[in-house]
Amino acid sequence: MYHSGPFKKWSFVVIVTLLPSKPMTNQRTDPISTPAIQPLQQFFETSSHLCLILRAHDHFIIEMANDAFLAATSLRRELVIGKNLFEIFPLSSIEDSDDSINVLRASLNRVLTDQCANTITIRQYIIPSRDSGESALYQYWKLSNTPVFDPSGHLRYIIHQAEHIIDPMIACAQRSESISAFAAIFEQAAVGLALLTAEGHWIRANTRLCEIIGDGYEAIRMRSFQDIFYPNDPTGYAEFLHPLLAGEIQTRSTERCHLRNNGHGIWVRLFMTWIRLADSLVDYFVLVVEDIQTCKEMEENLKEAKRLAKLGYWKWDRDTHTHTWSEEIYRIYGRNPALPPAIYPEVQMYFTEESWLKLAAAVEKSLAEGGAYECDAEVVRPDGSHRWITARGDAIRKRDGQILALHGTVQDITDRKLAEQALLQLNASLEARVAERTAELNTLNQSLESFVYSVSHDLKGPLRGIEGYSRFLEEDYAERLNEEGRLFVANIRAGVTQMSALIDDLLAYSRMERCKLEPTPLDLSILVNEVIAEYTQDISAHEIKIVADLPSTYVQADADGLALVLRNLLGNAIKFSKYASQPRIEFGVRKEASFVITWIRDNGIGFDMKYNDQIFEIFERLHRLEDYPGTGIGLALVKKAMQRMGGQVWADSAPGKGATFYLKLPVYITHRDPQ
């Protein structure tokens, strides 16, 4: 058997035609230079086996020797070419040198007689060293002699080849180790492995396969491959095996749902590979079984999630012009699932003209530039119903950057679109209603303003008359009135004053409800000092100590509105603390991140906190009018003003321990952080 190199596919006739046909000399020390023989010479020189070409009918004269032979025997080419094989055959067997020569001669003669290749069993040969001082080599070789015929069919040459074999015992041990390693890998594999006969009967199966099938090996052996994986499905079994048995393919794969003995199904992926030992004969199959139950469950979960999300997947391969659609896309477009996916130009029929122009432009740009796209589009189904989708896509590129395909998703967003449209309609309706109500409120406010003006005018007119006549009585007729009469006149005038103040406060409260406030940056310390200055006379009269050393602090508020608040609170603080032994009123301020808190604290009579909410209601009073005059509107006006300015007011007090009123206002941002 000659070396399985380039000449394995050539006939011996072809080989011999490459050899020179003219007689050869007994000595050839130069390389063969005939162009036709160069491939044969290259074959021998590059072979890893030791090769010689012998003249078949000329005492086995050596015509060629390759480099591997010369290197292994330490011989020079000029000492080999033209010599009889047995002249340079010192490679004697360690058992018997004569016997080795006889065996070799018998093998060559058998080639001449039978005109077919002959192989000599492995023997250990002694290769004497050509250099002095070095010991001989002991190697195992397997010799073979192969005939070479000329075009007329006559035996011309013999290819003599020696294949170096490692120690047979080592080879046997290595083979044993390989078998053990194979057995370990076979048994410990994470997938099911088995060997089957061509008829589907089990030769061997690992533990994992038994676990997947759900039965012991002895029970499995009682059934065939078809019984286990294709029960009651002979057609499917035949379709699966036919390409393998026919030699059309070497490996076949499929996915099956295997029903275990306990009644539970499990999804498996089958890989079947045939192993042939002779032409056209399938000797056995290698079966790989993979448990894909978890993968199938995940696929089903993903499929269900996509269905719930109304999300479909598609792919368009430009090279093969194939289109792939998921089931959800068929549902979204209303296309018959029995039909193949629509090709790109056909997809236009599922869109309104406006939406298709927008979508097609995005797709063409992605095809040209390779970028991703996303756009909403309106779908028109074959039944005439309309749906809304979000179409997303991106390009798949080859290694060289060329665009191979497009793929993407289609999500049904009809519910969202309908909700958006309903929301827009609702907003439009609400805006119309708000505009209508605003107009009505403006009309009512104008009417209320006219009413308040009219009422105040109509009330103050008589009050002015009463005030005038009572003043005349007091000034011109006081001497004619007794003490009781003068008291009556004084009460009348006090009532007129109270009524006038009440009307003024009601007008102020009404204006605060309706007026337009204009928040501006205000320095709180300046405004507090201005309000304090307005009460200088009362403060001095009652010797009240004012503490108002406030830092410059800016707030966002309406100037008139905040001044009104401070006047009312300071007026109340003076009114309720002026009878203290050492009356004191303190202003304070604390700045936070987005707001400012300022307070006014007095050491007056205070109040019970159970009335905390009550004091900010209109016309609510905690003290007798005779003791502490007032209209009962001031704190209600303070609360209304703070609400209109986006602030808050609250109090903290205890009977006999004074009261503190807090104001919370938006801080004025003098600059913005660039971040």
pLDDT digits 0-9 by tens, 366-398: 888 888 899 999 999 999 999 998 999 888 887
**Percentage helix, strand, coil for the chain under 3-state DSSP, each rounded to 5:** 45, 25, 30
- 229 neighbors 182 (Cβ within 8 angstroms): no
The C-alpha angle 493, 626, 475, rounded to 5 degrees, equals: 20
Q: Which of 285-299, 339-353, 611-625 has the highest mean pLDDT?
A: 339-353
What is the rounded average pLDDT for all residues in the chain?
79
What is the identity of the amino acid at 447?
S
Tell me if 287 sits within 8 A of 194, measured CB to CB.
yes
Among 8-22, 130-144, 411-425, top mean pLDDT goes to 411-425
pLDDT of residue 519: 82
DSSP-based three-state secondary structure for 450: helix
**Burial level of 631, CB count in 10 A (0-12/13-18/19+)?**
buried
The pLDDT assigned to 307 comes to 65
Encode 206-265 in three state secondary structure: CHHHHHHHCCCHHHHHCCCHHHHHCCCCHHHHHHHHHHHHCCCCCEEEEEEEEECCCCCE
80 contacts 109 by C-beta, under 8 angstroms:
no
- Model confidence at 177, pLDDT cuts 50, 70, 90, reads low
pLDDT at 332 over 70: yes
Residue 93 is predicted with a pLDDT of 47
As a whole number, mean pLDDT of residues 287-313 equals: 76
Cα–Cα separations (whole angstroms), residue 586 to 337, 581, 634: 83, 16, 20
- pLDDT bin (cut points 50, 70, 90) of residue 560 is confident
Residue type, 335: R
- Measured distance between the N- and C-terminal CA atoms of the chain, rounded to whole angstroms: 84
Which residue is it, tokens 């756009």?
375
**DSSP one-letter code for 90:** -
What whole-number distance in Å separates Cα of residue 62 and Cα of residue 50? 13
DSSP string, 268-297: EEEEEEEE-SBTTB--EEEEEEEE-HHHHH
Q: What is the pLDDT confidence band of residue 526, given thresholds at 50, 70 and 90?
A: very high
Q: Give the mean pLDDT of 313-342.
A: 88
448 membership: H or E segment, kind and range: helix 414-476
Residue 357 confidence (pLDDT) above 80: yes
Instruction: Give whichever of 161-165, 232-236, 319-323, 615-619 has the largest mean pLDDT.
Output: 232-236
Instruction: Tell me the mean pLDDT in the region 277-305.
Output: 73
Residue 667 pLDDT level (bands cut at 50, 70, 90) = confident
Query: Which three-class secondary structure state does DSSP give residue 146?
Result: strand
pLDDT tier, 32 (very low <50, low <70, confident <90, very high otherwise): very low
Report pLDDT for 130: 57
Q: Sorting pLDDT into bands at 50, 70 and 90, what band is 280?
A: very low
Task: State what percent of residues in the chain have pLDDT above 90.
Answer: 17
Q: Which residue reads 């003599």 in tokens?
A: 160
User: pLDDT by residue (tens digit) across 68-113?
Assistant: 888 887 788 888 899 988 887 655 444 445 667 788 888 899 999 8
Q: φ, ψ for residue 518 (rounded to 5)? A: -120, 95
Residue type, 595: F
